[in-house]
């Protein structure tokens, strides 16, 4: 197969590309770094030439509600049009668990708009909705720190390893289109403060993490029913402890 990975130089995109290369598939790495900009259309037609499938793992550079909405509307509309012209047989997009349940505001709502555009397009599609990645705990802490303390509501989450999400995207892309969505989460449920605390502790980060149900966290969907995967769903195998150990080994290796 010839598969185009849009956003192929990003966090998830690199892992998707590595997986496809291990499978000896023809891969086109499409990103602004390689001369392809889906928002403006630059290089897009050439990248999609003879493509069997597209895996879209692009992300908005600005996560604010209005900017994210504009980004996903522009890129998805242009990409679907180019796919139709190129005769692409399968459009796979990475979304977020809960994107189909949100209102009109926020980043989750912007991803919901992206999903609706994909569903209304002419290209056969599959949507993989992921829970938050393990390393996103650091961003959550950054956004919600006051002095030396991180305040977060005690809501259940089910975070997942980005590498396993990348593997699932490849599996989905190489199969028949779902014409629907599947949710994906990690193997364990935990409370949001515990999740962030465990990652910060592994980083030797001295900040305190406290449960505070009176606070509305920044950059995170607070509604419990929107944070956990719903059926149909798949569960990854990598636990948070396993991911932390692998992160530690990688840091040691890079330091040598």
Which domain CATH number covers 9?
3.40.50.720
CA–CA separation, 155 and 42 (whole Å):
42
β-partners of residue 6 are 30, 56
Residue 56: which domain range? 2-255
CA–CA separation, 71 and 61 (whole Å):
8
pLDDT tens-place string over residues 1-23 = 999 999 999 999 999 999 999 99
Q: What is the pTM of this model?
A: 0.93
pLDDT tens-place string over residues 159-206 = 999 999 999 999 999 999 999 999 999 999 999 999 999 999 999 999
Total domains in the chain come to 1
- ω into 232 cis (within 30 of 0): yes
């Amino acid at each position: 197969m010839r598969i185009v990975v849009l956003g192929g130089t990003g966090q998830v995109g690199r892992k998707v590309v590595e997986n496809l290369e291990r499978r000896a598939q023809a891969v086109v790495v499409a990103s602004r770094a390689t001369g392809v900009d889906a928002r403006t259309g630059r290089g897009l037609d050439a990248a999609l030439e003879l493509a069997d499938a597209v895996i879209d793992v692009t992300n908005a550079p600005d996560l604010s509600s209005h900017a994210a909405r504009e980004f996903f509307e522009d890129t998805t509309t242009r990409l679907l049009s180019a796919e139709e012209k190129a005769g692409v047989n399968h459009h796979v997009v990475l979304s977020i668990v809960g994107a189909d349940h949100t209102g009109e505001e926020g980043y989750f709502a912007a991803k919901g708009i992206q999903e609706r555009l994909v569903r209304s397009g002419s290209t056969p599609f599959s949507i993989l909705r992921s829970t938050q990645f393990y390393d996103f705990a650091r961003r959550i802490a950054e956004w919600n720190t006051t002095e030396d303390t991180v305040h977060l509501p005690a809501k259940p989450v089910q975070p997942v390893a980005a590498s396993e999400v990348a593997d699932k995207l490849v599996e989905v892309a190489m199969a028949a289109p779902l014409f629907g969505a599947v949710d994906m989460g990690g193997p364990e449920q935990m409370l949001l403060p515990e999740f962030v605390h465990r990652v910060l502790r592994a980083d030797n980060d001295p900040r305190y993490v406290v449960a505070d149900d009176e606070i509305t966290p920044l950059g995170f969907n607070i509604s419990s029913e929107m944070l956990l995967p719903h059926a149909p769903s798949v569960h990854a195998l990598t636990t948070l402890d396993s991911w932390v150990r692998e992160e530690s080994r990688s840091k040691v290796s890079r330091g040598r």
